[in-house]
Homo-oligomer: A and B are copies of this chain.
Amino acid sequence: MKLGWIGTGVMGKNMCFHLLNAGHDIFIYNRTREKAEELIASGAVWKNSPEEVTKKADIVFTIVGYPKDVENVYFGEKGIFKGVHKNLILVDMTTTKPNLAIKINKKAIEMGIDSIDAPVSGGDVGARQGTLTIMAGGNQETFDKVLPLLKLLGTRISLQGKAGAGQHTKMANQIVIAGTMMGVSEALVYAKTAGIDPEKMVSAISHGAAGCWTLDNLAPRVIKGDLEPGFFIDHFVKDMDIALEEAEKKHIKLSSLELADKQYKKLQAEGYGKKGTQALTEIWKKEK
């Protein structure tokens, strides 16, 4: 198939490679062209704008940074909606505002095409291995058309509801993570001050009711002092802010999420934005 791919950051690049390796014709665009060079060298065709990518492709995938980037890519001067043609399907895999997903979908339908939102979870490792979790929102028929391609990228793929439902599910995902990150971080800090061996502690509790991905995957990194990003604090804060904005609109107070957001913003202010989310434990170093 002729596929468009916009956004070749750490996630996007690895994901796009799976489509390329499956033999599809790929037309790519990225704000910084250098980040697309590896894909170009492997056969992807560079285009100078989202508009040009769109004109060439049957399905366009996007995975960029922030909601404003998504806005630009879709609605900008040389954006995707300038290149619309019959039977086009748009798939935004960026984690972004549910309302933006709905806005894109509305515009797509107005123009006689369709879109789905399909944010992912699983980090760079999942992107590389093609084992992402993909949470989609949109029309079933459109989802079914895109599904064989999504299967090249992920192992757990579900249609969660209509447009925006993928983004809402991703928000729920991030809300859980905010809680587990705080719980695990505080347990590690507690263990240290209590004088017990954090490794023994993690090993003892990780198979019971405290068991979680964060304990298995991030606690060992914290113990080793490895703060390198699996997932950037900057991106996590973006996601939490979207979820908090949604919660505010719905008049629900998510106190735990608010606290996590506040804590991570403290770390951003200290220059930790490009560190991994496991750097939360650094807060207590500052406070001590």
Contacts and interface: CB of A to CB of B under 8 A. Distances in A.
Main secondary structure on A side of the interface with B: helix
Given A197-B161, A254-B189, A214 B209 contact: yes
Contacts of A256: 179, 182-183, 185-186, 256, 259-260
A135, A209, A210, A250 pick with most chain B CB within 10 angstroms: A209
- How many protomers of this protein does the assembly include? 2
A191 interface: yes
Contact of A180 (B121, B173, B179): B179
B122 A205 contact: no
Contact of A203 (B158, B175, B182, B215): B158
A73 to B, nearest CB: 24
A133 interface: yes
Given A123-B209, A263-B255, A284-B252, A184 B193 contact: no
Given A180-B183, A212-B212, A255-B259, A196 B165 contact: yes
A194 B179 contact: no
Contact of A213 (B165, B196, B200, B210): B210
Nearest to A126: B208
Given A180-B183, A259-B255, A287-B253, A208 B122 contact: yes
A245 B52 CA distance: 62
A53 interface: no
B135 A173 contact: no
A176 B212 contact: yes
